[in-house]
Amino acid sequence: MKLLRYGPAGHEQPGLLDAHGRIRSLAGILPELTPQQLSPAALARLAAVDPASLPVAPGAPRLGVPFAGTRKFIAIGLNYADHAAESNLAIPTEPVVFTKAVSCLQGPHDEVMLPRGSKKTDWEVELGVVIGTTARYVEEREALEHVAGYCVINDLSEREYQIERGGTWDKGKGCDTFGPVGPWLVTRDEVGDVQSLDMWLDVNGQRMQTGNTRTMIFSVARIVSYVSEFMTLEPGDIITTGTPPGVGMGRKPEPIYLAPGDTIRLGIARLGEQRQSVVAWRRS
């Protein structure tokens, strides 16, 4: 299944994408797509619903984050060897773990707003892993059983804040609008081999990133198992798993960073595409 939420920000309704690419409303079946709806039993009940029996959403509505109620947004850094190289950093011997603020989550096509005074806002196409059942000290061989599905994430990053502002990466990773997720949550059964997905990102029509999840240093199963050693993973938690080479910071001969008016397009095979326009900082 491809599960989603659609409608104005703060007023999204639950839905799914049918085989013809039409949004079907789930509002008559459940009021919201919450973490409780990501368990195997709940997903099986939704899978048993005939999409043709659901009303089609009119028009082309905005898409929000595909599910509500995320409590933790965890990220893995330097998980592709060639990205570590372009960042002039050593290949890690264990997953590099940091957090993105839950407040940065937004829909896949919402505007990206540069932070006030930003000089080095960068892009990163990444595979997102959505937890479906509680995971605590999970063995790697069992880790994927705790995954509800996968999604596209743009792990936007302000490099000056991340690297030059005295310490943890988190400062450059959780700015408002820095967590587009979606367009939908694709359930694990529909994705198949998660370690064989092509991924790409364009800025202003120019291909910047091309990669495949097969070149991850640490697999999805390893990441879920590893993170569960340090914190309990709960239904609805998101882990974004690192980016392939081609980020702006690594461009030669000079880095390239995002500016107002830029357009970002990115996607992962079987998981859909995102598109964002970049705007200057403004008070909400």
- Number of alpha carbons in the 13 Å side-chain half-sphere of residue 193: 7
Task: For the chain, list the strands marked E by DSSP.
Answer: 2-6, 13-17, 23-25, 73-77, 96-99, 105-106, 112-113, 121-122, 125-131, 147-154, 157-158, 179-180, 185-187, 198-203, 206-212, 238-240, 263-268, 272-279
Query: Residue 230's pLDDT band (boundaries 50, 70, 90)?
Result: very high
Q: What is the rounded average pLDDT of the residues 235-244?
A: 97
Write the pLDDT tens digit of every residue in 33-48: 999 999 999 999 999 9
Specify the pLDDT at position 84. 76
Quote the radius of gyration of the chain (alpha carbons, Å): 18
Specify the pLDDT at position 220. 98
Whether 88 shows a pLDDT value over 80: the answer reads no
What is the 8-class DSSP label of residue 245?
S
Whether 269 shows a pLDDT value over 80: the answer reads yes
Query: Residue 247's pLDDT band (boundaries 50, 70, 90)?
Result: very high
Whether 103 shows a pLDDT value over 90: the answer reads yes
Specify the pLDDT at position 75. 98
Tell me which residue has tokens 């089609």: 56
d(CA 250, CA 235): 35
> Hey, what are 86's tokens?
């372009």
Q: What is the rounded average pLDDT of the residues 55-61?
A: 95
Specify the pLDDT at position 164. 87
Per-residue b/e over 77-97, b at no fewer than 16 CB within 10 Å?
Answer: bbbbeebbebbeeeebeebbb
Query: Residue 91's pLDDT band (boundaries 50, 70, 90)?
Result: confident
pTM equals 0.96
Specify the pLDDT at position 167. 73
Whether 261 shows a pLDDT value over 80: the answer reads yes
d(CA 48, CA 44): 6
d(CA 74, CA 131): 11
When the pLDDT of each residue in the chain is averaged and rounded to a whole number, the result is 96
Specify the pLDDT at position 90. 81
In the chain, the percentage of residues whose pLDDT exceeds 70 is 100
Whether 166 shows a pLDDT value over 90: the answer reads no
d(CA 274, CA 209): 14
Specify the pLDDT at position 283. 87
